[in-house]
């Protein structure tokens, strides 16, 4: 089911949490909603579920305007960060809950409910756990029960609020892979919130980056990473070095010295230059190129990371370099950027 | 040459401190038990000893007295009405406070505690002024031929007022701590609000609710001050058990007074036992609301 958000706004009292969001989520898509704390991710999800009423704007499920539908009518699967499992019900009862509370006319027969619960337990690799209570499960198992419970009602859209937030790194990794599998098998339109960028980039078909209640960029993970649409996205996703530069007559300067770099737009004025550590290349120093001095070398199993103090203007750069390069602390080297992005700074 | 406290071997020093605090700890514990024995066990014991002083026959004769029977009935009736009313009110108030934001919410929270902070006699008096034969609502009551003061409705009213906070006070922190997520999950799964309440909210607050009702009931059956004022103490008509104790005691019928007192004391003991069992079995559920 396609989900379309149109001009969606939410204001709590005086303070706006979501400022007019337009977004279309394609049927069957796995969309990662990424953003810093307080950016409005939960609020957006809750509005789609009907747990929060938008101040303005509309939500469409397919062609149907769902803005004024009740929570129950929307039939979304919502997985809460804290799982919200019913403690006094067994795992099987939790999963069956949504099937059992339906009005009599729409309710499945007990045998069918039983069968469906068994299927879901299987799908979630929880076979044999049906009789346990939530208190007797590990965090990862609880998370899977919560997901099974949401899937049981055949939701039109699956909403996950930081589904792996409370789990340790290894369990997160396993569950991530497994969520991807479940998604491929069931094909539900899914939106999941995370503030773990690695998770979002690895798992999502598309990533939506939210900041201060606004969508900064919605794109495929590789586009988000390689072609960030805004300074915020570049700074938020992945690592980057930042240098404040001035664009004048189509040339770039820092502290008065010409950087000999290509401009990326027409607007003169202050810019911020982003370059990822793996795009900082070291070479023999030249007359016209950037020069720097090696301040520190950090060797780790991830590779070699070099801290460079730029000589011609104030600034330091982090570079990730080949293990084979011979480097000495204090050595003067040449620096080139194999890739960088410029964003105009608002004055 | 004594070393100062700080210069001593640190391990020895720590031991000394532990030993000192142990001594304090033991003294305090012993003190508490002595106080309890003096002010709690002794009176309880006296009640039962005095009640049984003239033998079992006298005891049961006193309890079988028509006035006493009427007092038992009145007490049961008052509790049967006041406790469910307060369970409902308390649930509603706790729900409103824990789930919604509204103006003057803090004022409401303070008001809920009012019955605890005001003397029950004052409560009784104000009901007399409102509903008595010369009270503000007297004309209305006469018109509909209703009697509140010096009749059972007055007893129920006063008792309900005095025991209002028990359930609400128990549930507010519990519901606040539990949050809304379980309920929201039920709604997204398609439950209607009533179903959500019955299948999710109620089981979640069950033990807190039972605990509140238990305390509410104990107080409802034992309430004296407010009830004394509104009942007029018409023997065999508007006296409850605590009032009857006082009536008999005033009439120098000590064994009768103690016989009834033993019923009330027994009620207190039963309450205490159930309360302990609840606290022991459902410690986690009640943790949020522990102030007793
Ligand atoms: N019920 C509420 N009342 C008032 N303000 C709220 C409410 N819910 C959220 N907000 C505010 O709206 C903004 C967005 O909150 P939201 O919970 O959506 O952020 P989030 O992106 O989910 O953050 P996190 O990653 O920390 O969960 C925050 O500034 C928050 O304080
Ligand atoms: Mg959130």
Structure-derived torsion over alpha carbons of residues B105, B109, B114, B116, reported in degrees to the nearest 10: 180
The answer, yes or no, to whether residue B194 has pLDDT greater than 90, is yes
Pairing between strand A76-79 and A157-161?
parallel
Nearest to A25 by CA among A46, A2, A55, A52: A2
The answer, yes or no, to whether residue B119 has pLDDT greater than 60, is yes
Cβ–ligand 1 distance for A53 under 6 Å, the answer no
| CA A46 to centroid of ligand 1, rounded, Å | 11
Nearest to A75 by CA among A10, A9, A159: A159
- Burial class of residue B136, CB neighbours in 10 A (0-12, 13-18, 19+): exposed
Q: How confident is the model at residue A89 (pLDDT cuts 50, 70, 90)?
A: very high
pLDDT of residue B126: 93
pLDDT of residue B1: 43
Chain A residues close to B182, C-beta within 8 Å: 84, 86
Take residue B290 and report the two structure tokens written for it. Answer: 């522990």
CA A281 to CA A318: how far, in whole Å?
10
The answer, yes or no, to whether residue B185 has pLDDT greater than 60, is yes
**B 190-229 near A (Cβ less than 8 A):** 190-192, 195, 199-200, 203-204
SS3 of A277, please?
A: helix
Nearest to A96 by CA among A104, A86, A105: A86
pLDDT of residue A31: 96
Take residue A14 and report the two structure tokens written for it. Answer: 């005086």
Residue A208, number of CB atoms within 10 A of its CB: 24
pLDDT of residue B284: 66
| Bridge partners, residue A219, by sequence | A207
Task: Return all residues near B274 (Cβ < 8 A) that are at least 6 apart.
Answer: B214
Residue to probe by mutation, ligand 1, list A12, A36, A215, most atoms within 8 Å of CB = A12
Spatial contact of A243 and A232, defined as CB atoms under 8 Å apart: no
Select from A51, A88, A102 the Cβ nearest to the Cβ of B190: A102
- Which tens digit of pLDDT belongs to each residue from B220-239? 999 999 999 999 888 888 99
Select from B189, B195, B200 the Cβ nearest to the Cβ of A153: B189
- Which tens digit of pLDDT belongs to each residue from A193-247? 998 888 899 999 999 999 999 999 999 999 999 999 999 999 999 999 999 888 8
Report, as an integer, the average pLDDT of A95-113: 91
Take residue A40 and report the two structure tokens written for it. Answer: 């409005």
Q: Which ligand is nearest to the CA of A43?
A: 1
Nearest to A194 by CA among A82, A42, A8: A42
Q: Could you tell me where the DSSP H helices lie in chain A?
A: 41-49, 71-74, 91-100, 110-123, 139-152, 169-186, 197-203, 221-226, 231-236
pLDDT of residue B17: 60
Residue for token digits 């240098």?
A243
pLDDT of residue A300: 77
CA A125 to CA A129: how far, in whole Å?
9
Residue B288 in contact with partner chain A when CB distance is under 8 A: no
Tell me which residue has its CA closest to atom 18 in ligand 1: A40
CA distances (Å), A344 to each of A244, A264, A272, B164, in order? 10, 10, 6, 64
The answer, yes or no, to whether residue A58 has pLDDT greater than 90, is yes
Chain A residues with at least one Cβ partner in B under 8 Å: 49-51, 71-72, 74-78, 80, 82, 84, 86-88, 97-98, 101-102, 149-150, 152-153
Reported ipTM exceeds the 0.95 cut: no
pLDDT of residue B156: 96
Q: How confident is the model at residue B125 (pLDDT cuts 50, 70, 90)?
A: very high
Mean pLDDT of chain A: 90
pLDDT of residue A253: 84
pLDDT of residue B14: 61
Q: How confident is the model at residue A96 (pLDDT cuts 50, 70, 90)?
A: very high
Interface test with B, best of A76, A97, A159, A161 (most B CBs within 10 A): A97
- Burial class of residue A14, CB neighbours in 10 A (0-12, 13-18, 19+): exposed
The answer, yes or no, to whether residue B4 has pLDDT greater than 80, is no
* Maximum C-alpha span of chain A: 83
A199-213, B3-17, B102-116: range with lowest mean pLDDT: B3-17
The highest-level CATH class for domain B55-291 is: mainly alpha
Report, as an integer, the average pLDDT of A137-142: 91
Spatial contact of A174 and A123, defined as CB atoms under 8 Å apart: no
pLDDT of residue A347: 63
Spatial contact of A124 and A144, defined as CB atoms under 8 Å apart: yes
Cβ–ligand 1 distance for A39 under 6 Å, the answer yes
- Counting every residue written for chain A, the total comes to 347
User: What percent of chain B shows pLDDT beyond 90?
Assistant: 61
Q: Domain residue spans in chain B?
A: 1-51, 55-291
Residue B16, number of CB atoms within 10 A of its CB: 13
Structure-derived torsion over alpha carbons of residues A279, A284, A290, A296, reported in degrees to the nearest 10: 70
Report, as an integer, the average pLDDT of B185-201: 95
Spatial contact of A247 and A263, defined as CB atoms under 8 Å apart: yes
The answer, yes or no, to whether residue A329 has pLDDT greater than 60, is yes
Report, as an integer, the average pLDDT of A173-183: 86
- DSSP secondary structure of B174-202: HHHHH-SHHHHHHHHTT--HHHHIIIIIH
- Which tens digit of pLDDT belongs to each residue from B23-67? 888 999 999 999 999 988 898 899 999 888 888 888 998 889 999
């Amino acid at each position: 089911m396609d989900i379309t958000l149109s001009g969606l706004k939410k204001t709590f009292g005086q303070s706006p949490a979501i400022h007019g969001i337009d977004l279309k989520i394609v049927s069957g898509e796995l969309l990662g909603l990424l953003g810093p704390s307080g950016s409005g991710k939960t609020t957006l999800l809750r509005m789609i579920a009907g747990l929060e009423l938008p101040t303005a704007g509309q939500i469409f499920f397919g062609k149907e305007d769902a803005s004024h539908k009740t929570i129950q009518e929307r039939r979304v699967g919502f997985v809460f960060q804290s799982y919200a499992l019913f403690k006094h019900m067994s795992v099987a009862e939790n999963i069956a809950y949504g099937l059992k509370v339906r009005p009599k006319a729409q309710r499945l027969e007990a045998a069918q409910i039983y069968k469906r619960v068994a299927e879901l337990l299987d799908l979630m690799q929880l076979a044999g756990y049906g009789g346990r209570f939530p208190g007797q499960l590990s965090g990862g198992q609880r998370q899977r029960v919560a997901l099974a419970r949401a899937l049981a009602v055949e939701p039109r859209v699956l909403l996950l609020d930081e589904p792996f937030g409370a789990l340790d790194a290894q369990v997160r990794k396993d569950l991530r892979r497994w969520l991807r599998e479940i998604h491929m098998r069931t094909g539900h339109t899914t939106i999941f919130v995370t503030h773990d960028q690695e998770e979002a980039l690895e798992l999502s078909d598309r990533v939506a980056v939210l900041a201060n209640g606004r969508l900064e960029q919605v794109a495929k993970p590789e586009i988000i990473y390689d072609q960030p649409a805004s300074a915020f996205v570049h700074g938020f996703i992945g690592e980057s070095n930042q240098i404040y530069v001035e664009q004048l007559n189509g040339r770039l300067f820092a502290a008065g010295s010409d950087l000999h770099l290509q401009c990326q737009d027409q607007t003169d004025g202050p810019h911020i230059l982003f370059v990822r550590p793996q795009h900082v290349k070291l070479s023999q120093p030249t007359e016209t190129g950037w020069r720097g001095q090696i301040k520190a070398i950090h060797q780790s199993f991830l590779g070699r990371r070099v801290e460079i103090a730029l000589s011609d203007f104030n600034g330091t750069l982090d570079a990730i370099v080949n293990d084979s390069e011979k480097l000495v602390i204090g050595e003067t080297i040449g620096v080139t950027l194999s890739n960088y992005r410029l964003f105009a700074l608002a004055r | 040459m004594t070393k100062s406290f700080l210069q001593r071997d640190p391990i020895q020093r720590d031991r000394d401190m532990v030993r000192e605090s142990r001594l304090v700890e033991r003294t305090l514990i012993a003190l508490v038990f002595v106080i309890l024995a003096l002010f709690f066990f002794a009176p309880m014991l006296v009640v039962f000893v005095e009640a049984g002083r003239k033998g079992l026959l006298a005891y049961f004769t006193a309890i079988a007295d028509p006035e006493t029977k009427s007092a038992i009935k009145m007490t049961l009736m008052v509790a049967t009405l006041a406790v469910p009313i307060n369970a409902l009110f308390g649930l509603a108030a706790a729900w409103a406070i824990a789930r919604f934001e509204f103006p003057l919410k803090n004022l409401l929270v303070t008001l809920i505690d009012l019955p605890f902070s005001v003397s029950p006699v004052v409560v009784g008096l104000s009901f007399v002024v409102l509903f008595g034969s010369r009270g503000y609502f007297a004309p209305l009551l006469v018109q509909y031929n209703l009697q509140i003061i010096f009749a059972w409705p007055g007893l129920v009213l006063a008792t309900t007022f005095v025991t209002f906070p028990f359930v609400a006070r128990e549930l507010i922190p519990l519901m606040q701590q539990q949050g809304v997520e379980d309920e929201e999950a039920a709604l997204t799964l398609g439950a209607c609000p009533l179903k959500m309440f019955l299948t999710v909210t109620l089981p979640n607050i069950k033990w807190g609710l039972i605990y509140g009702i238990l305390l509410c009931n104990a107080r409802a059956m034992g309430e004296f001050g407010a009830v004394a004022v509104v009942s007029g103490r018409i023997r065999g008509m508007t006296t409850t058990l605590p009032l009857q104790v006082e009536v008999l005691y005033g009439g120098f019928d000590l064994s009768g007074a103690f016989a009834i007192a033993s019923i009330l004391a027994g009620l207190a003991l039963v309450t205490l036992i159930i309360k302990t069992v609840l606290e022991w079995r459902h410690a986690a559920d009640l943790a949020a609301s522990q102030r007793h």
